[in-house]
Each structure stands twice: as structure tokens, then as C-alpha cells.
Amino acid sequence: MANGLRLGRRTFAPGELAVMAIVNRTPDSFFDRGMTFAADSALRAVEQAVAEGAEIIDIGGVKAGPGNEVDVPEEIRRTVGTIAAVRAEFPELVISIDTWRAEVAVEAVAAGADLLNDTWSGADPALAEVAAATGVGLVCSHAGGLSPRTRPHRAAFDDVMTDVLQTVTGLADRAVRLGVRPDGILIDPAHDFGKNTRHSLEITRRLAEMSDTGWPVLVALSSKDFIGETLDLPVDQRLEGTLAATAVSAWLGARVFRAHQVRPTRRLLDMVASIRGDRPPTVSRRGLA
């Protein structure tokens, strides 16, 4: 399949590395503890992320892990108004909705979302149908067979990357059969989802196997538990580990990087792209005169 990636009004070239900034409309996010739960705070966070170099904004209304129940109307209330406000202020920005629910996706797309970020591996099969019917993009992920908002327990795979590849390419192929645009599909190994730390480290070092499928790869590494366990660090001290995993993933072919901290991620990706030869230096003076 083609390596093109078109989301909303943006077309991303094969060597272009994009930052997807996380904006959580939740009071209990593991990272920001509700700092962007208020609508005005969320919009300010979007403005800052765009100023720091984010090309995509991912808006979510439900914490990934276990917690208080959030029903469909509440998830819609938390996310759809923010999507509409962001679309009005940033007509060219790619907006993603982090949801596994088709009912939420329908309202989000109507408000201006360009991408359905399904981190729960097709838990609602109708989500891909929404993408097909509306022409928006879709993220196909691997959650290790878990139901939404559950944590792994004694996760085990004969070969974790083989399982990841079978799942995400199967979901991508199904999406194409349903009518989802091939150039709007990304695949995501979903670090930590249904996996232990050793699994997440292994899929990181083997990420080239995902890139070799031809589908654009999205990684969500930011301050994940596998980084915390690897370095024995709390959530607020995982930036260096996140950036290391981001650099490795970029070198091995990932295209989109979901991140809490946009500026350092953007700078790191620009440097990797320049080392790789996909991006010229911003300036080049030394040794030329």
C-alpha cells in the first residue's frame, strides 16, 4: 500500500515526522491530573501546542486506565465542544478524537475531527464504519485482547511483535474493505496496552517490522509505565526516557508521535529527520566562510 498520509487538510510526506499533542478533557489523567479539564484550559493548551510545533491535536474525554465511569453523553460533552472551538480557531490543524465509541466519533466528526484514534483495537467495530462513512482517518491499534479501560494481568505472547502485526494489519485491512481511505489509516503498537514493560521494550526495538508493512506508524510513548519501570521513575521524571524511545522509534520508521511535551519532542524529531537526511538544517553557516 502507499506510504502517503492525508489527514484533514494536511498531507504528510513519507519522511515527515508529526507531533500529535495530547489534550485531555478529563479530571483524572495520569499525566496532568486534570490541568486541561476546564474548557478554557484545554483551548489554551491547544494554542500552546500549536505554537510549539504540533501538527495534530488529540482530544480525549476518558482516562485510558480504570476509574470513574464515563458514559457516552458525558464523553461527548467533554470533547465535542472543544473540538468545535479548536476547529474554529485553527482551520488547517489536524484534530483527532481519542475514543473507542462510534457514537462519540459521529458527533466528533460533525464538530470537525479529522482522525479517530482508537487505542482499544476495534473494541467497537462500528468505529471503522464511521471513518468509512465520513472520510476521516483511523488509528488501528493493538490492545492485547483487553477491553477498554482495563489493565494487563500476566500478559503473555508467543511473539509479541507477531501478535501486534497480525492485529493491526488485520484491522487496517478490514477498514479498507469497509471503505476507509487507505491514506488515512495509521497503525499503533499501543505500548503498555495489554503488555508488560519487557513487551513494550521489545516492540520499540523491533518497530521497523511495523514500518516495513507500509502503513504509517503512530507511537504513543509519552511518560508511559514501561519507561517508568525501566528507569524506576515517577510520571513527572520520565521525559528523558520518553525522548530516547521517541528517537529510536523515529529512526526505525514511526511517523506520528503522541506527546504531552511538544517542544522537546518537536526538536528531537527535527534533529532525527536532519540526521536521516529528510530535513535540511535550519541554518548552515559554520565552516562555509
CATH of the domain at 76: 3.20.20.20
Give the chain's domain count: 1
Q: At what angle do helices 72-89 and 102-111 cross, to 10 degrees?
A: 20
Active-site position among 78, 255, 258, 266: 258
Which DSSP helix (H) or strand (E) runs through 46? helix 39-51
Residue 115 lies in a domain: yes
pLDDT of residue 220: 98
**What is the rounded average pLDDT of the residues 263-289?**
96
Is residue 26 assigned to a domain?
yes
Parallel, antiparallel or unpaired: strands 256-259 and 218-220: parallel
Which pLDDT band, with edges at 50, 70 and 90, does 27 fall under?
A: confident
Q: Which of 78, 195, 224, 238 is catalytic?
A: 224
The mean pLDDT of 153-160, rounded to a whole number, is 95
- CA 194, 199, 203, 204 dihedral sign is positive
Catalytic residue list contains 10 = no
Report the share of the chain in percent with pLDDT over 70: 96
Residue 197's contacts (CB-CB under 8 Å, 6 or more residues apart) are 225, 226, 229, 230
Question: Per the domain annotation, does 10 fall within a domain?
Answer: no
Is the pLDDT confidence value at 9 over 50?
yes
Q: Which amino acid is at 98?
A: D
User: Grid coordinates representing 204?
Assistant: 520499540
CA-to-CA distance for 88 and 198, rounded, in angstroms? Answer: 43
Domain assignment of residue 192, given as a range: 15-276
Whether the per-residue pLDDT at 40 is higher than 60: the answer is yes
CA angle 173, 127, 25 (to 5 degrees): 130
**Residue 55: predicted pLDDT:** 98
Mean pLDDT of the chain: 95
Active site includes 224? yes
If phi > 0 it is left, if psi is from -120 to 50 it is alpha, else beta; for residue 70 that is: beta
- pLDDT over threshold 80, residue 135: yes
Q: What is the mean pLDDT of residues 224-246?
A: 97
**Which CA distances in Å does 182 have to 15, 133, 178, 221, 258?**
18, 14, 11, 24, 21
In a domain, 102, yes or no: yes
Q: What is the mean pLDDT of residues 134-162?
A: 96
Is pLDDT at 78 greater than 80 in this prediction?
yes
Q: Which of 162, 231, 152 is nearest to 196 (CA)?
A: 152
